[in-house]
Amino acid sequence: MTFIQRHAYGIGAGFAALLWPFFFRRRRLSMENIMKCGITDDPKEAKRIAKKAWCHLPGHICEALCVPNVIGRDNWREHLDFSEGHPDAVKLLLDTPDTPIIIASAHHGVWEAATNVLSFARPMIAIARTMNNKFVADWMKKHHFRGPVTVIDKNHGFTPEVFRQWADERAAMTILMDQHTSKGLKLRFLGRPAKTFTSVARLAIRYGRPIVVGSFVRVAPYRYRLVGGAPVVFGKGTDLAEATQLLNDRLAEAIRRYPEQYLWAHRRWRDD
């Protein structure tokens, strides 16, 4: 690895640490979120977690940009750690390429890097916000998501073409569930009321596809650990609110285990 690749995470995290003192509102919001969610009741510990989480995001993004040059088809399994993952979830992710699946995650851990690495196991469809600048979007496709990764603009919704691609390619549909929405169901996330997207549960109920719920967290440079339980399958008659709440609860479990890697600075809770 080059010097930049070896120290990418530290460079991003270090730059964020320099900016930390100047973002008073984000610091306060992060600490409030951490304490209201019951992660800790100690303000000093909340401040420590908030700063670590603040630095983790740019550190993760910088490292993720280097992933295509460090991790390849011949060594990608060496960079994944499944010591905390359920065996059925691991089998579904890596060894069941003939089954379209759903990955339900959050702004937790290393979602950018994990999408790149998992594309060696199966095609990936990521529902996310795309870049407004065409040149930036083209650069990301050429230099960042080099494998079979299709990024779908979340504002365009699920089109028939997306569903056909998902079925034809036996892809993993990846959705981050913890983004704010004004149209979702008011449920509980980390013990607090929050409007929640129901897309994951609706897709699983309609198509009967299994869901892997959880996160990949960073445990070392370019080494990522799956945190989550057994896959979830919903039947046709499953209640949408109950199903979505179950997914929220499963994501919360992973976040509570590794709170330093969650995006506490975003305004997730606007209803309490």
Tell me what percent of the residues of the chain surpass a pLDDT of 70.
90
Q: What is d(CA 113, CA 53) in angstroms, rounded to the nearest whole number?
A: 17
pLDDT at 184: 87
DSSP code for 153: E
Q: What single string gives the DSSP state of each residue in 89-127?
A: HHHHHHS-TTS-EEEEE-SBS-HHHHHHHHTTTS-EEEE
pLDDT at 271: 67
Q: Output b/e per residue, 165-180; b: 16+ Cβ within 10 A.
A: bbeebebbbbbbbbbe
Mean pLDDT, the chain, rounded, equals 90
Give pLDDT tens digits for 171-216: 999 999 998 888 889 999 999 999 999 999 999 999 999 999 999 9
Cβ burial, residue 86 (10 Å; 0-12/13-18/19+): middle
Of 194, 208, 22, whose CA–CA distance to 99 is shortest?
Answer: 208
What are the residues whose beta carbons fall under 8 Å from the beta carbon of 210, sequence distance 6 or more? 92, 99, 101, 102, 204, 231, 232, 233
